[in-house]
Amino acid sequence: MNMLQSFKLALKSIRSNKMRSFLTMLGIIIGVASVIVLVSLVNAYMSYMTDSFASMGTNQINVSVTNLSSRSVSADQMYGFYEEQEELFDHMSPMVNVATVVKHGSDSMSATSVAGVSEEYLDIKGFELAQGRNIQYSDIVSRQKVCVIGYYVASELYGSPEKAIDETVKIGGYGFRVVGVAQRQDEESQEDGGTDDFVWIPYSCGVKMARNADIGSYVFTIRQLDRASEAKKQISDFLQEIFKSEDLYQVTAMSEMLDSLNSMIAMVSAGLGRIAGISLLVAGVGVMNIMLVSVTERTREIGIRKALGARKGVILQQFVIEAAVQSALGGIIGIALGSAATAAAGAAAGLDAVPTPSAVVISFSVSVFIGLFFGYMPARRAAGLSPIDALRSE
């Protein structure tokens, strides 16, 4: 008997015992579907977090300092260090957050983020201008009350970016002239506190408005991502010489945070995959038990076939293939069910979840292996039956 005949007999046996075959496959179906859903959702969440970090700038290094009367770092010192490390850094900007309300006439926006920045901040964020110009170095030096606003602010206060240029906006009671409007960043929604809800002013004005002579935050961009650790060390060494204490400054590389996050999520994904894989192991035990029952029920059939000259290897092959076919069918149904469940769960969670090819391939391969592995023992028992004993059984 060749492989094709064994395969046809396996299908015939499955069709003649539909309920028993379904129960045999049920564990495989659930196991495969579980692996696909869990791994795919975790990977979708990983992609979401990666995109979120990318929008924040994976090439950025954020620096936070606590200036004391005896030990402090000025913007001029930071610029001096930045210029000495031109081979590492691409851009640098002080950051001064101003907690205030943005107003125009009777309209006010309390959730809008207001920050004092340098002329390089537009490039650091990777934004383009929809209208007007950027903040210039001369604006910073002369403390000109000018600003660049986000697309949402321009639309809410003035109706459009075009109408916003050269208009006056009140920031903390001071009148600022709008010289530029950034292009829209969020194409899907515009809301308070969103990506397009911001106002940038010269950091020299921000320091005055915040009533703080010292700047506590800086943002750098690095030229090469693979040199993030080196760049971070250079900044830390520079600040250590000034502050003499690591408690007074913090240097955070976004790329390192992303790598750590990806490592953690990958560990969680692997752990969930193993947990879901346990159900496949349990399903394998179910396959073995059902196949043992099948061998018992078909003892006389086995005896007749052996009496007619069927070799031990042929009987072994038939039952192993039957177990493998049931597991493979269960795997295919599990893939279909897992794919549908992944799409539904992703939509419910607001994630772009699609079945992960690796999870599909691995779970299906494991299901077939389980059929072969756990089907071997019942098949070996069937092949080892004595023809005389088999024919005598009732």
138 has which bridge partners? none
* Range of 31-40, 118-127, 266-275, 368-377 with top mean pLDDT: 118-127
Residue with tokens 């089907």: 375
Dist. CA 233–CA 221, nearest whole Å: 14
- Which of 20-34, 77-91, 373-387 has the lowest average pLDDT? 373-387
Contacts of 335 (CB under 8 A, 6+ apart): 32, 33, 36, 355, 360, 363, 364
pLDDT value at residue 55? 62
64 found inside a domain: no
pLDDT tens for 92-125 read 999 999 989 999 988 889 889 999 999 999 999 9
Of 63 and 6, more confident: 63
Of 311 and 227, more confident: 227
Output the average pLDDT for the chain: 83
pLDDT value at residue 307? 66
Expressed as residue numbers, the domain containing 348 is: 3-53+260-392
Least Cα distance to 214 among 67, 30, 37, 32 occurs for 67
Dist. CA 70–CA 244, nearest whole Å: 11
174 has which bridge partners? 171
pLDDT at 64 over 80: yes
Dist. CA 6–CA 193, nearest whole Å: 66
Contacts of 156 (CB under 8 A, 6+ apart): 107, 109
pLDDT tens for 127-140 read 999 999 999 999 99
CA atoms within 13 A on the CB side of 188: 1
Dist. CA 116–CA 95, nearest whole Å: 6
pLDDT at 37 over 90: no
235 found inside a domain: no
Show which of 179, 212, 245 is a domain's final residue: 212
- Number of domains within the chain: 2
Confidence of residue 297 (pLDDT cuts 50, 70, 90): low
Shared-domain flag, residues 126 and 41: no
| Cβ atoms of 41 and 353 closer than 8 Å | yes
Show which of 189, 212, 235 is a domain's final residue: 212
pLDDT tens for 162-179 read 999 999 999 988 999 999
**Phi, psi values for residue 255, rounded to 5°:** -65, -35
Shared-domain flag, residues 114 and 177: yes
